[in-house]
Amino acid sequence: MNKAMNAFEFNIMSFAFYVRDIFVQPEKVLDEVEINQGDKILDYGCGTGSYSFTAAKIVGDRGMVYALDIVPLAVKKIDTLILKRKISNIKTICSGCVTGLKNNLIDAVLFFDTFHMCDNKESILREFYRVLKTDGALYFSDHHMKEEKIISEITQSGLFSLSSKDRKLYAFKKNK
């Protein structure tokens, strides 16, 4: 994925996400994800933070959302909103793969509409495996990919198995 994005391109992307969120409301998408108060969530490829801010409300003050994106402008925008809204349970990470998080820390990874753009898919899946708790889950959606390709690309490494599919959201469990 290319991290070089100028301000104009970022503003176009931000507007597209704003429109998307009107039709595909983050609250409704996250209703399909098992997130509880106190959970630790990784929103990988967080963009402008639609899912991060929604997840932060769900996990509450005892939980934490790690909003990761490779695009520095996205991380800067989220940091600005965190300060403006006085939110204490979102931390941003600017990275293309390595999260810097501890092993077995994360309850759920949100990986939405990003996988098709990733160059280092296997490394990313290994990072998810490393940071997810034993009973953690990888929640995946990518409308640019067909179901067969999604399932095969996530499971072929042997790190994850499909545990459920609900509408267009796939849940993968961590293999032991």
Residue showing tokens 């490829």: 45
- 98-115 residue pLDDT tens: 999 999 999 999 999 888
> Is the whole model's pTM more than 0.85, yes or no?
yes
- 111-127 residue pLDDT tens: 998 887 788 889 999 99
Q: Return the SS3 of 114.
A: coil
Q: Tokens standing for 141?
A: 């959606």
Q: Tokens standing for 104?
A: 């077995």
Q: Which domains does the chain possess?
A: 7-174 (3.40.50.150)
Q: How many other C-beta atoms are found inside a 10 Å radius of the C-beta of residue 151?
A: 18
